[in-house]
Structure 1
Amino acid sequence: MKPKNLVVFLSSLLILFTCKDDSQKIDLASLNLLRGDLQLCGSGQFGELKFSLSCNYETRDDFDLAVALLHSFQYADAEKAFVKVIDADPDCPMAYWGVAMSIYHAAWFPPSEKDLIKGAKVLAVAKNLAMDEKQRAYINAIDAFYADWQNVDHNTRALRFEKAMEKIHHDYPEDVEAAIFYTLALYSTRDRVGKDYKNERKAGKILESLFADNPNHPGIAHYIIHNYDNPVLADKGLETARRYAKIAPSSSHAQHMPSHIFTRLGIWEESIQSNIQSAESARCYKQAMHINDGFFEEIHAIDYLVYAYLQQGDNTRAEREYNAISASTTVHPLNVTAVMYPLAAIPARMALENKNWNKAASLQLQETGLDWEKFPWQKAIHHFARALGAAHTKDFAQAEAELLTLKVLHQKMLAENDRSIAIQVKQVEIQMKTAEAWRHFSENATKKAIALMQEAAALERNTSLHPLTPGDVLPAIELLGDMYLAMNKPEEALMAYEENLNKTPKRFNGLYGAALAAERSGNKEKAIHYFQELIELTKNSSSLRPEIVEAKEFILQS
Structure 2
Amino acid sequence: MQSNRIISLRALAGSLMLATSVLAVTASAHEQTKTELFKAGVSYAAGSSNPTEGERPPLYRGLGDLTMPITTKSKEAQAYFDQGLRLTWGFNHAEARRSFQEAQRLDPECAMCFWGEAFVLGPNINDAMHEEAKAPARDAIQRAEALKAGVGGKERALIEALAKRYGANPTASRPPLDRAWAEAMGNLAKAYPDDANILVFYADALMNLQPWDYWEADGLTPKGQGGEIVAALERALEIDPRHPAAAHLYIHAVEASTDPSRAEAVADRLRGSMPAAGHLVHMPAHIYARVGRHSDSIAVNRDAIAADEAFLAQSGEAASALYRFGYYPHNVHYLMLSAQMAGVRDDVIGSAEKLATITSDDVSQELAWVQAIKAAPFSAHAQFSDPDTILALPNPGDRFPFVKGYWHYARGVALAFKGNLEAASSEAEAIEQIIDKTDMSGLEEQYLPAKDVLGIAKFVVEARIAQAKRDYVEAERHLNEAIRLQDGISYMEPPYWYYPVRQTLGAVLLQQGRAEEAIAAFEKALQETPRNGWALWGLLNAQTAGNRETSDTKAAFARAWLGDEGLLSLDRL
Measured against the shorter chain, the TM-score band is 0.7 to 0.9
**Which of 166, 174, 190 matches 2:186?**
166
**Which of 290, 303, 309 matches 2:339?**
309
Aligned equivalent of 1:533? 556
Query: Per the alignment, do residues 72 and 290 of structure 1 end up closer, same or farther by CA in structure 2, a change over 3 Å counting?
Result: closer
Instruction: Using the TM superposition, give the Cα deviation of residue 484 of structure 1 relative to its aligned residue in structure 2, in angstroms.
Output: 3.6
Query: Per the alignment, do residues 523 and 144 of structure 1 end up closer, same or farther by CA in structure 2, a change over 3 Å counting?
Result: farther
Check the 8 A contact 2:125/2:212 in 1, yes or no. Answer: no
Cα distance per residue 1:227-260 (max 9 Å; x no partner) = 2323623211111111113432332222211122
Query: Is 1:543 equivalent to 2:569 in the alignment?
Result: no
Instruction: Using the TM superposition, give the Cα deviation of residue 83 of structure 1 relative to its aligned residue in structure 2, in angstroms.
Output: 0.7
Aligned equivalent of 1:523? 547
Aligned equivalent of 1:476? 501
Greater shift in the superposed pair: 264-273 or 442-451: 442-451
Equivalenced residue count is 501
- What CA RMSD, in Å, does the superposition of the two structures yield over aligned residues? 4.0
Query: Is 1:344 equivalent to 2:375 in the alignment?
Result: yes
Residue type at the aligned position of 2:190: H
**Which of 259, 280, 285 matches 1:259?**
285
Residue type at the aligned position of 1:98: G
Aligned equivalent of 2:24? none
Aligned equivalent of 1:6? none
How many angstroms apart in 2 are the aligned matches of 1:102 and 1:334?
23
Aligned equivalent of 2:252? 226
**Which of 309, 312, 317 matches 1:283?**
309
Cα distance per residue 1:199-220 (max 9 Å; x no partner) = 5554233222222432342212
Aligned equivalent of 2:534? 509
Cα distance per residue 1:446-500 (max 9 Å; x no partner) = 7786556435434544544224x26732323334434444555443332122112
Query: Per the alignment, do residues 273 and 170 of structure 1 end up closer, same or farther by CA in structure 2, a change over 3 Å counting?
Result: same
Residue type at the aligned position of 2:85: V
Check the 8 A contact 2:372/2:496 in 1, yes or no. Answer: no
Query: Per the alignment, do residues 362 and 66 of structure 1 end up closer, same or farther by CA in structure 2, a change over 3 Å counting?
Result: same
**Which of 293, 299, 311 matches 1:273?**
299
How many angstroms apart in 1 are the aligned matches of 2:393 and 2:291?
30
Where in structure 2 are the equivalents of 1:180-329 lying within 5 Å? 180-190=200-210, 192=212, 194=217, 195=219, 196-198=221-223, 199-230=225-256, 232-290=258-316, 296-328=326-358
How many angstroms apart in 2 are the aligned matches of 1:441 and 1:31?
49
Check the 8 A contact 1:279/1:298 in 2, yes or no. Answer: yes
Residue type at the aligned position of 2:114: Y
Check the 8 A contact 1:262/1:270 in 2, yes or no. Answer: yes
How many angstroms apart in 1 are the aligned matches of 2:365 and 2:394?
23
Cα distance per residue 1:128-183 (max 9 Å; x no partner) = 55457755654465455555676746x66655543443333234434432210121
Query: Per the alignment, do residues 519 and 287 of structure 1 end up closer, same or farther by CA in structure 2, a change over 3 Å counting?
Result: same
How many angstroms apart in 2 are the aligned matches of 1:366 and 1:101?
39
Residue type at the aligned position of 1:435: K
How many angstroms apart in 2 are the aligned matches of 1:434 and 1:491?
27
SS in 2 for 1:207: helix
Gaps of 5+ in 1: 1-29, 551-558
Check the 8 A contact 2:507/2:570 in 1, yes or no. Answer: no
SS in 1 for 2:125: coil
How many angstroms apart in 2 are the aligned matches of 1:355 and 1:407?
29
Residue type at the aligned position of 2:568: E
Aligned equivalent of 1:435? 458
Residue type at the aligned position of 1:94: M
Query: Per the alignment, do residues 163 and 246 of structure 1 end up closer, same or farther by CA in structure 2, a change over 3 Å counting?
Result: same
Residue type at the aligned position of 1:517: A
Cα distance per residue 1:63-104 (max 9 Å; x no partner) = 233222212223222111211222234454433332233233
Residue type at the aligned position of 1:70: T
Where in structure 2 are the equivalents of 1:416-495 lying within 5 Å? 418=445, 421-422=446-447, 424-425=448-449, 428-433=451-456, 435-436=458-459, 438-439=461-462, 442=465, 450=476, 453-461=479-487, 463-467=489-493, 469=494, 472-485=497-510, 488-495=513-520
Residue type at the aligned position of 1:501: L
Aligned equivalent of 2:431? 402
Query: Per the alignment, do residues 380 and 510 of structure 1 end up closer, same or farther by CA in structure 2, a change over 3 Å counting?
Result: same
Query: Per the alignment, do residues 547 and 533 of structure 1 end up closer, same or farther by CA in structure 2, a change over 3 Å counting?
Result: farther
SS in 2 for 1:545: helix
Check the 8 A contact 2:405/2:431 in 1, yes or no. Answer: no
Instruction: Using the TM superposition, give the Cα deviation of residue 352 of structure 1 relative to its aligned residue in structure 2, in angstroms.
Output: 3.2
Greater shift in the superposed pair: 336-345 or 174-183: 336-345
Residue type at the aligned position of 1:524: R
TM-score, normalised with respect to structure 1: 0.75
Cα distance per residue 1:387-421 (max 9 Å; x no partner) = 65567753222211112213445x422x6774xx2
Query: Is 1:67 equivalent to 2:72 in the alignment?
Result: no
How many angstroms apart in 1 are the aligned matches of 2:432 and 2:357?
28
Cα distance per residue 1:353-388 (max 9 Å; x no partner) = 338566556644669xxx954xx7666655554565
How many angstroms apart in 2 are the aligned matches of 1:548 and 1:480?
13
Check the 8 A contact 1:387/1:403 in 2, yes or no. Answer: no
Query: Per the alignment, do residues 372 and 183 of structure 1 end up closer, same or farther by CA in structure 2, a change over 3 Å counting?
Result: farther
Query: Per the alignment, do residues 129 and 48 of structure 1 end up closer, same or farther by CA in structure 2, a change over 3 Å counting?
Result: closer
How many angstroms apart in 2 are the aligned matches of 1:348 and 1:158?
39
* Percent sequence identity over aligned pairs: 21
Aligned equivalent of 1:38? 57
Query: Per the alignment, do residues 437 and 297 of structure 1 end up closer, same or farther by CA in structure 2, a change over 3 Å counting?
Result: closer
Query: Per the alignment, do residues 224 and 450 of structure 1 end up closer, same or farther by CA in structure 2, a change over 3 Å counting?
Result: same
Residue type at the aligned position of 2:196: V
Please identify the structure whose Cα radius of gyration is greater: 1
Check the 8 A contact 2:182/2:202 in 1, yes or no. Answer: yes
How many angstroms apart in 1 are the aligned matches of 2:405 and 2:107?
48
Greater shift in the superposed pair: 213-222 or 427-436: 427-436
How many angstroms apart in 1 are the aligned matches of 2:305 and 2:517?
41
How many angstroms apart in 2 are the aligned matches of 1:477 and 1:306?
21
How many angstroms apart in 1 are the aligned matches of 2:298 and 2:548?
33
How many angstroms apart in 2 are the aligned matches of 1:254 and 1:365?
35
How many angstroms apart in 2 are the aligned matches of 1:229 and 1:497?
22
Greater shift in the superposed pair: 95-104 or 294-303: 294-303
Aligned equivalent of 1:176? 196
Query: Per the alignment, do residues 177 and 479 of structure 1 end up closer, same or farther by CA in structure 2, a change over 3 Å counting?
Result: same
Query: Per the alignment, do residues 458 and 398 of structure 1 end up closer, same or farther by CA in structure 2, a change over 3 Å counting?
Result: closer
Check the 8 A contact 1:275/1:302 in 2, yes or no. Answer: yes
